[in-house]
Amino acid sequence: VNLPAKSVVIEQLSRFRGEGHVTLTAGEYTQLTGRAGRRGIDSSGHAYALWSPYESFGELSRLARSTDFVLESAFRPTYNMAANLMNRVLRNEAINLLERSFAQYRSNSNILRLNKNLDKARASLKTAQGELKRLGVEHAGDGPGTGVPTATSGPPLEKLRPGAIIERLHGNEAQFLLVLGTTSRRGGEHRLRVVTARGKVMMLSPTDFDTAPQLITDLELPKPYAPNRREYQRTCARLLKQALNELGIVLEIRRPEGDLRAERAKATRRVEQAQIGIDAAKHQIEVAEGGLAQSLRAIEEIMDLFGCSQDWVLTPVGKYLQGIFHEMDLLTALSLSEDLFTELSPPELAGLVSTLTYEHRSRLDPPPPWYPNTSLKNKVGVLLTRSGQLRKAERERGLPETREPDPTIVGLVHGWASGHALADVVDDTSSVGDFVRHIRQVVDLLSQIADVAPTPEVRECAREACRLLDRDLVAAAARLQETERGMVFGDGD
């Protein structure tokens, strides 16, 4: 029953599952009792369970107190919703509507989890920067816009003092060492007495370094100063290990053979990706703290950015959005405004639209897409580029990213719309049921495009593509579905 009420009565705590009655799960109980309380009318709702000699109060209490199932709201603002709100109410009225939703309530409780995600992202950045340090690269800073990592030359050996923690690159190894003492020989050669975190003591000259040693930090050596004593050296090794752990630095690494520049470039990219993760986590926290109102503001920013609105007023592009009810609504509207659906035959348009409806979900890699001609392939490329720009804008604002278009079944849909037989377009490993479902999804979006397209040519092309796709098995499946729906709702004979 989809009707909210002030109170809900549960007749029994079990349900029949074909072979017998089974006790309700915590999730089922939560879903049933979640109907209690009318939004905007009741401050709380009540759920009643009828007494039964076969069900104990303890059983009911366990279901009511269970934390195994958390009721989540799937509701979130979309571009289509924002466009329709812009067309009907003022911005403040729209915000008030959203703040009364259950999704807003759940958003408030998610802030703690998001802060944990931010801590993990910061830890990833620290680890990635540690990799750079081990490769002889120093990062300019942790925030965006602080510059890219650059190679630096450390101080010469004669400038180092006891207590310095340095990084040594030699061959394919990187070590972190604690300087115990320095000596100077005739001829001006300086040598270092160092200890590793594992307690190994070495005397190093400039020839033992591929590059100048990198100064990491300084450590206060224990007193009395006795660098020649073995026990003192072990104590210093423990202090070095502790200091490196506090800095989040791995004690020693073995650098893969090959181009050091390539390794540094990879490490640099990991730092940049970690920083992007931090920025995204911060935006998600801002969105959660601002609630759905903040999400709506972020959506408005993106709509302004892509020319769909201006100061809560729809542009002609934004008006396309009002009639597109799909997870790829904004990308579809942008494709219409940029004439991406023009100069295509109906089968080609069907193939292009399939990239917006299909999503490969198998664990196996999808087969490479097949395109009937270069023109359609180029249009898919433009669509993917625009998708990347949109996803970047969403990521920067902490919004869920719109799914990337998937060209896997372009050839299949084009073939079916061109009149090929089912056996010619569906191989033995594919499910006919999945094929019908995919085609119905393409038909649904094409019918929406036919209603909102700005030119008669695109509208007619979309309608013709629907007609070509909706045939044989696909049409029969649709009729069967309509018949079953009529029987359920009493519309059948």
Tens of pLDDT, residues 432-472: 888 999 999 999 999 999 999 999 999 999 999 999 999 98
Confidence at 389, pLDDT banded by 50, 70, 90: very high
- Using the predicted structure, report yes or no on whether residue 180 has a pLDDT greater than 80: yes
Residues 6+ apart with CB under 8 A from 163: 178, 179, 218, 219, 220, 221
332 and 473 part of one domain:
yes
Q: Is omega for the bond preceding 224 within 30 degrees of 0, making it cis?
A: yes
Do 185 and 285 have their domain in common? no
Residues 349, 462: one domain? yes
Question: Is residue 2 in a domain?
Answer: no
102 and 187 co-located in one domain: no
Tell me whether residue 398 is in a domain. yes
Of the candidates 65, 83, 114, which is a domain's last residue?
Answer: 65
Same domain, 334 and 469: yes
Q: Which residue range is the domain that position 184 belongs to?
A: 136-254
Residue 427: band (very low, low, confident or very high) from pLDDT cuts 50, 70, 90: confident
DSSP code of 76? -
For residue 195, CA distances in Å to 235, 240, 281 come to 10, 9, 40
- Is the domain of 453 the same as that of 340? yes
Please compute the mean of the pLDDT values over residues 361-381 and round it to a whole number.
92
Other C-beta atoms lying within 10 Å of the C-beta of residue 458: 21
Pair (110, 190) in one structural domain: no
Alpha-carbon distance of 80 to 97, in angstroms, equals 16
Whether 250 maps to a domain, the answer reads: yes
User: Which secondary-structure segment (H or E) carries 104?
Assistant: helix 102-109
In the predicted model, is pLDDT for residue 359 greater than 70? yes
Number of structural domains, the chain?
Answer: 4
Residue 1 domain flag = no
- Domain match, 463 and 335 both: yes
Domain boundary, last residue among 201, 227, 254: 254
Mean pLDDT of 144-161: 55
The model's confidence at residue 172, banded by pLDDT at 50, 70 and 90, is: low
User: Is 88 contained in some domain?
Assistant: yes
Longest dimension (CA), the chain: 109
Owner of token pair 């490769």: 135
- First-to-last CA distance in the chain? 25
- Statement to judge: residues 382 and 312 lie in one domain: no
**Span 255-296, pLDDT tens digits:** 544 455 677 778 888 888 888 888 888 877 776 666 677 889
- Residue 475, pLDDT score: 87
Out of 301, 322, 343, pick the residue that ends a domain: 322
**Do 378 and 340 belong together in one domain?**
yes
Are 291 and 244 members of one domain?
A: no
